[in-house]
Structure 1
Amino acid sequence: MFIDTLIEKIKEKNNPTVVGLDPKIDYVPSFIKEEMFQKYGANLKGVAEAILKFNKMLIDSIYDIVPAVKPQLAYYEMYGVEGVRVFYETCKYAKEKGLICIADGKRNDIGTTAEAYSSAFLGNTKVDDNCMEAAFDVDALTVNPYLGVDGIKPFVNDCANFGKGIFVLVKTSNKSSGQLQDLLTQEGKSIYEKVAEYVNDWGANVIGKYGYSSVGAVVGATYPNQAKILRKILRNAYILVPGYGAQGGTARDVAHSFNSDGLGALVNASRSIMCAYKDEHWSGIYTEDKFNEASRAEALRMKDDINQVIGA
């Protein structure tokens, strides 16, 4: 079961964080760009190869200290077919290194289309009557609950059938999230509270041995007060927490998403780790050709930062 594997990886590495692999070509050090542009040309193929090398070097530098990575699909899709190939290759490489791979795609649609999305990322795709084959085969996927239960059920079914996980958007980290998510229902509860209640229901049949469900929630670090409320509602859900680091969330903010057992949340950082070599704190220590060492140092700093607050 996905959630049990995730928790065991977190315990093994004493690290409740996930590294977001959301690459732009601007993030890639010049020596990698120059090498790949010279070999493949200054085109989408060259960009994709540069990003793939960048991702692999990052993974090599962190796989032994973090439990998971989270590639954001948009950053690959914007480079077209070559970018989608790099997404696939990145996920495959991360899993070969023993990392859990969470695809951040925020997918959903009406029932049959949701089935197709779920088959692509979590389940199997039919080739013919005698053959089913995994396409992207990631461990978990972020999903959008806006279409209701018929858009969620295919993903939940594949969580049960294939040992995978999903994280449902509940309270996102962006500034305008309150336009919809904070609206009050006729019951006097906000939309995000109602979605959290549904998450409990949707995940009730995929609860693992540690008491947590493979149907989790996304709650941004930039809304710590809402996280306090949601932690009480989401009794069995693991919370994926974006917004730490570059978006302004702090360790004290993300602490509200954890339970008293020190579990219950997985905190994401993307730019602050990928681009650590550009940060003034690390740029004086690590040169550009040592960008991966800077990323490792920042990942360890983040781990200690969050563990210290959880422990307190």
Structure 2
Amino acid sequence: MAESAEELPADAAGAWQLVVDSVYGMWADFLVRLPLIMAGIVLLVVTWGVTKLADRTVRFALRRTRLRRSLRELVRQLVYITIWVVGLLTAAVVVFPGMTPAKVLTVLGLSSIAIGFAFKDIVENFFAGALILWRFPFEPGDFIECDELMGKVEETTIRMTTLRQVDGQLVVVPNAQLFKSPVYVITSQPKRRITVICGVDYETDLGQAQQVLRDAVEGCSSVDADHPVEIFCQEFGGSSINFEVTWWTGSTPLAVRESRDEVVRAVKTALDAAEISIPFPHRTLTFKENLALQQVEHANNEA
């Protein structure tokens, strides 16, 4: 017990000395590498400046080309990413002299599998964004619809696409969702076909009603004159003969709403002027005679 008590201070002193030596070694190694670390930081600052200059230069150069806007954006972002990757690799080689570009690429190659599994969604959105910018047929300013989301494309980046809905809300959509799901590009064409259903009374002359509807729709300023107005009898409704009224107008949501409003108003006015009624649903109720007698008897008994 006496020997153990005497050895304890010596062991504690040795442990403390080991900690001090380790901290001193780390500090000395930091001081030795401090110039290299400063050089690496300077390289990162230079890389940042080069990316800003390259971004402006690429933007100016691409404006003079006939490439699609989304393809120009893809080229710009790839140049931006490439410069940063080269800058980071150069800074790593400067800070750690024993590390060569070949070793860095080897480490990146071995770690790519782990990174792919750990950041699967990020990698998936990255490649989906690249393909969207390269080949997809919608540009910033187009209205698109995907998975119950509908809005105006404001920006498409490598990772996400931002949509401004018609009610003003901003929706951030991962590119993988747009790549996997059906996307309806509402404004891919300047004009869009609209259809409404209009019913007339069964006693109405259908030929006359069809002509009245056609004249009313063709007289609307929002209806495109380059496409014919189509009026077809569609079905025998519960209380009316239903017509399918089809015309072409602007493709934006606002243009569609304005045109639909104008056409419905014009059709209602024209049918009223021609004394053609748009009937309400009619229902006929029948009762069995014995049920009515039972109800009368029950009322008499209660009285």
- TM bin (shorter chain): under 0.3
Query: Taking structure 1 as the reference length, what is the TM-score of the superposition?
Result: 0.18
Give TM-score scaled by structure 2 length. Answer: 0.18
**The structure with more radius of gyration:** 2
Return the structure number with greater helix share.
2
